[in-house]
Chains A and B, each alone.
Chain A
Amino acid sequence: MSVDKQTVAKIASLARIKMGDEELERMVPELNGILNWVEQLGEVNVEGVEPMSAVIPNTLRLRDDVVDADPKTGGGKRDEVLANAPAAEHGFFGVPKVIE
């Protein structure tokens, strides 16, 4: 499978990355080079093989359903959470107007 400029433009928009014409054109052969190379995985017989999602057998732990169970990751951290926001207003994250 190979991608054309239109497909790359679509992927870029799905990935929320603005790309100009020139950049899209540059990406097409680069992505095709990589995609052609990974095509070789199709040669591998994977019949009956389960896709691997965890490398080390480990059971998923759940945290206690308690607010502030860990004081470092729990609630009551508004100022810290907002400390790096490009635009924080009135204790919230500010974004451009989305409703006219």
Chain B
Amino acid sequence: MTDLTKLGVKAIRDGVAGGDFTAREVAESFNAAVASAAELNAFIVTTPDHALAAADAVDANRAKGEELGAMGGVPIGMKDLFATHGVQTTAASHILEGFKPQYESTVSQNLWNAGAGMLGKLNLDQFAMGSSNETSYFGNVASPWRKEGANAAMSPGGSSGGSSSAVAARIAPAATGTDTGGSIRQPAAFTGICGIKPTYGRCSRWGVVAFASSLDQAGPMARSVEDCAIMLGSMAGFDPKDATSLKMDVPDWEAALSADLKGKRVGIPREYRMDGTDEAILASWEQGKAWLKDAGAEIVDVSLPHTKYALPAYYIIAPAEASSNLARYDGVRYGLRDLPEGAGLQDMYAATRAEGFGDEVKRRILIGTYVLSAGFYDAYYNQAQKVRALVARDFEQAFATCDLILAPTTPTASFPLGSLSEDPLTMYLNDVFAVPASLAGLPAMSVPAGLNPDGLPLGLQLVGKPFDEQTVLDAGLAIQQRAGFDHAPEKWW
């Protein structure tokens, strides 16, 4: 029999529905792959029983002749930012260690309803703050990729680095991610997989541990564009429990997928050609233009003049929202409590938060508290929100002349773990190409474009108009078909 862990979402679902193999066989294969990959540290907890129970339910439904869901029989990894009923949910923090939600996030529930099962909770940067997976309380995640001829552990990107590592290593066919400023796209690019952040509001944020509420958006990470389309269709949908959820129908993205881009105009933002961008990245960008042209698209120049200011605006807005969202971790209602001898309530809060948060989280809470404090609110926070409006307006104007934007996902390929961790600003620059689309709430995807001279994956980014995930996915498919990216990391774990 074929190795089931080589299969993606569509192949598993269709194989289970067609009776080529059972969902239980699939779940058992992936459970074993997960158990043998502890060195990647991709999972914080594993839930093999959840995967088996979901698989058995799908097999039973099939035996009864019932229709199986869009994710029927597909076991997935769940980023540990999604609340899962009765299963520890930590956001990779010490402050939430041992927290077992008494409810299920809407996105994960939607996936279970569609027939998916859970392999476990995936590691991430603590509270989704980071671009390298070095801020988790539960240790760094390693990418399955290494530089050719070297064995230094490389970063899987962040914050959804457990997700990217697991999917790239073939220990999960797909995983959930969340993207606040690039946390789906950057790790997807670093590990040679696909990931899409839909339009803000497509996926419910209910039950997702909040980082920056005006930016956070869930999305799928998988090895192909088709798999992303299928999984996103199951995750998305209106949710009355989330006031920012879009009251719109979810299109059948999978059914409408087409790599024919005739009549589409693809914009190339001239401001994304920044000094210091890797030669290999620029070359892959050129290649991407040629591929989209080959698919029938017309290439046009566009300008996004405020690109340079998107990242600094993000590093005011996101910490400001985080400082407010993370105020709920005070040692009273859930999570850690540190109560020093003879301490009062205020001391307990301060001690609990000092003990429970990691350095990067503290740094961002302090920045957020500072920019929101009296006297600095206008100079920092309000100014950043105005710049955000200008970044969004740039896109609006660009989309008057094009249907889609093509850019690199990241300015470099992955880097060795530990090489940037002393330098927060350089680390932030990883998301320089990803953040503008986040600030504007636009759908954006990364697809693998090829390998750099070190043998590390590079990604291309597609940014679409609001609600137009279809064009993003279609262009992703056009690139996927032409790139023929079938590289896999060599197994060392």
Chain A contact residues, CB within 8 Å of chain B? 1, 3, 8, 11-19, 27, 30-31, 33-35, 37-38, 40-44, 46, 49-56, 58, 60-61, 63, 70, 72-73, 77, 80-81, 83-87, 93, 95-98
Contact = CB atoms under 8 A, between A and B. Distances in A.
A35 B330 CA distance: 27
Contact of A19 (B243, B309, B354): B354
Contacts of B354: 17-19
Contacts of A50: 386, 389
A19 B200 CA distance: 36
Contacts, number: 170
Contacts of B384: 38, 41
Nearest to B99: A84
Classify the interface of chain A: helix, strand, loop or mixed: loop
Interface residues of B, number: 73
Nearest to A13: B350
Closest 5 CB pairs of A and B: A55-B441, A51-B385, A86-B337, A84-B334, A80-B102
B344 A98 contact: yes
Interface in B232-279: 240-241, 243-244, 246-247
B366 A12 contact: yes
A53 B385 contact: yes
A8 B370 CA distance: 9
Contact of B363 (A30, A77, A96): A30
Given A11-B366, A14-B373, A96-B339, A46 B332 contact: no
Contact of B244 (A18, A58, A72): A58
B353 A18 contact: yes
A51 B345 CA distance: 36
B390 interface: yes
Contact of A17 (B247, B334, B366, B376): B366
Contacts of B365: 15, 17
Contacts of B181: none
Contact of B201 (A3, A49, A56): A56
A55 B440 contact: yes
Interface string B320-360: 00010001001111111101000111111111011001000
Interface stretch (B61-69, B168-176, B310-318): B310-318
Contact of A31 (B215, B244, B247, B370): B370
Contacts of A38: 312-313, 315-316, 380, 384
Contacts of B19: none
Contacts of B323: 15
27 contacts: A11-B366, A15-B366, A17-B354, A19-B354, A30-B363, A31-B366, A34-B367, A34-B424, A38-B312, A38-B315, A44-B383, A46-B386, A49-B389, A51-B382, A51-B385, A51-B388, A52-B389, A53-B214, A54-B244, A61-B247, A77-B102, A80-B102, A84-B102, A85-B334, A93-B333, A96-B348, A97-B344
Contact of A52 (B345, B353, B366, B385): B385
B425 A95 contact: no
B390 A44 contact: yes
Nearest to B344: A96
Contact of A41 (B312, B344, B349): B312
A61 B439 CA distance: 22
A83 B385 CA distance: 38
Interface in B82-117: 99-103
Given A12-B366, A30-B363, A80-B102, A44 B240 contact: no
B191 interface: no
B7 interface: no
A34 B365 CA distance: 13
Interface string B368-404: 0110010010011011111111101000000000000
Contacts of A34: 315, 363, 367, 424-425
B50 interface: no
B147 interface: no
Given A38-B380, A41-B312, A63-B240, A55 B353 contact: no
